[in-house]
Amino acid sequence: MGPYQYIRLSQLNGQIQDTINSRFKGQTYWVLADITSHSFKADKKIHYFELVEKSETSGVITAKIMGKSWGNGALRILNFEITTGQRFTNNLHVLVQVGVDFHPLYGLSVNLLDIDSNFTLGILEQQRNATLERLVKENDFIHREEEGYSTLNSRLTLPAVIQKVAVISSSSSAGNEDFRHTMQHNDFGYAFQIDGYHTVVQGDNNAKLFLKKLIEVYNTGIPYDVIVITRGGGSQSDFLIFDNYHIGRAVAKFPIPVITGIGHQKNVSITDLMAHTHTKTPTKAAELIIAHNRSFEQHILSLQRTIAIKSQQLFLGHYKELSELKSKVTHNARELVAGRKEELILARQHISQAGRNILAGEKQNLLLAAQKTMQRPRSLIQEKNSDLQHLKAKLKIFTGQYLRSCSLQLEDYRKTIKLLSPQNILDRGYAVVRIHDKIVNSAGSIKEGEEIEILLKDALLKSTVNEKIQYDGKHTDL
């Protein structure tokens, strides 16, 4: 084979670079794509990433190119993060301005020159609005109202006093610490039971973990007064979990009032809208609970003051009436006592005279009764004595008749027993059959060839059974 004509790779890449630069130099393009493989070199302030396009039906990547951004482009990204509250990171759908570049060593790529904040905000808002519309459409306990949303949870009534609180938050959340500190060091000395339920509270992909923790709170069976969801600050993407459809639905239907203190200042999440009450920060949530209890205490103190004032007013208003009534009662009592005194004296004299008359009459009656009582026992004794004598005579007659009757009956029993005695039966020509010294009255226990004893009135016969013929007792020659 002859020698080939060749060029160096650097020469080939140089030609590609010249061709691309001559075609794309000075030109920029607004491109719609997703961010993947992102990394940021903080010391050099350079972003490295890939721009990809995915099929709307299958989600398969159909186009991809390397990208980078530094200098003015990096400043544009920083401004984007400040404006949207959304961190420039993976899985972000963006509209970016890029220029095409080819480097002999690093290959083909695009330089990010600008990024449209309004486009990203619009995408997030569209997703949020679509979730809200779905929540209202698919759940009859969620209603859209002029001032927001009415949910089963928001329609619950807060207890008059909040004491038992379940807090769902991250275990390392500064917001959770702020909430607890505010609750436990309140100016009014209120005591709270605060139970922590820790889970991941950022990233839409962690929604299932958050839901499990919410269900865990319900399954404890503890009668919590409120559920508080807290989180510290962060980027907009950190709060996407609280725009999740399933979390919003669970909060809207939860049977215990939910208070949110998620810690984002720019907007309100779907979870906030579905909850009973939403506040901006964990500290604000704690202050809301304390203020709620303070309101109840002030209401009770106000009632106390009102009752005291009303009591004084009623007392003063009726004091004069009571004084006048007291005077009237005293005067009338004196007049009544004076008027009844004479009547009582006359009544006492009348009672004394009537009492003496009654005593005299009853004394005479007692004397007559005493005389009758002395005479009556003698006549009774005589009557009973006569009855006893008559009864004695009857007993003698009855006893003799009864003894003769019993004697005749005993004689009958003796004759019957004699007739039924075994010896008498033998004397009449009957016999008793025994086997093994036991009397038998049935042939069922006797076998052919077996020895038996036949007892007659004057002898005992020992015999062997040669044949056993069944007999029903209906035909006899006896």
- For the chain, the average pLDDT equals 86
Least confident of 71-75, 292-296, 322-326: 322-326
pTM above 0.75, yes or no: no
Question: Which tokens go with 391?
Answer: 């009864």
Q: What is the mean pLDDT of residues 45-62?
A: 89
3-state secondary structure 10-45: HHHHHHHHHHHHHHHCCCCEEEEEEEEEEEEECCCC
Amino acid 427: pLDDT: 76
Phi, psi of 4 (to 5 degrees): -90, 150
Amino acid 466: pLDDT: 85
Residue in 56, 55, 75 with CA at minimum distance from that of residue 64: 55
- pLDDT above 60 (res 80): yes
Amino acid 287: pLDDT: 95
Amino acid 38: pLDDT: 92
pLDDT band for 473, please (50, 70, 90 cuts).
low
**Contact yes or no for 85/9 (Cβ under 8 A):** no
- pLDDT above 70 (res 474): no
d(CA 278, CA 230): 10
Q: Which amino acid belongs to residue 471? A: Y
Beta-sheet strand order (sheet of 258-261): 193-198, 164-169, 226-230, 258-261, 277-279
- pLDDT above 70 (res 264): no
- For the segment 303-320, what is each residue's pLDDT rounded down to a tens digit? 999 999 998 888 887 887
pLDDT band for 126, please (50, 70, 90 cuts).
confident
**Contact yes or no for 273/252 (Cβ under 8 A):** no
pLDDT band for 245, please (50, 70, 90 cuts).
very high
Amino acid 312: pLDDT: 87
pLDDT band for 297, please (50, 70, 90 cuts).
very high
Q: CA torsion 203→207→209→215, rounded to 10°? A: 150
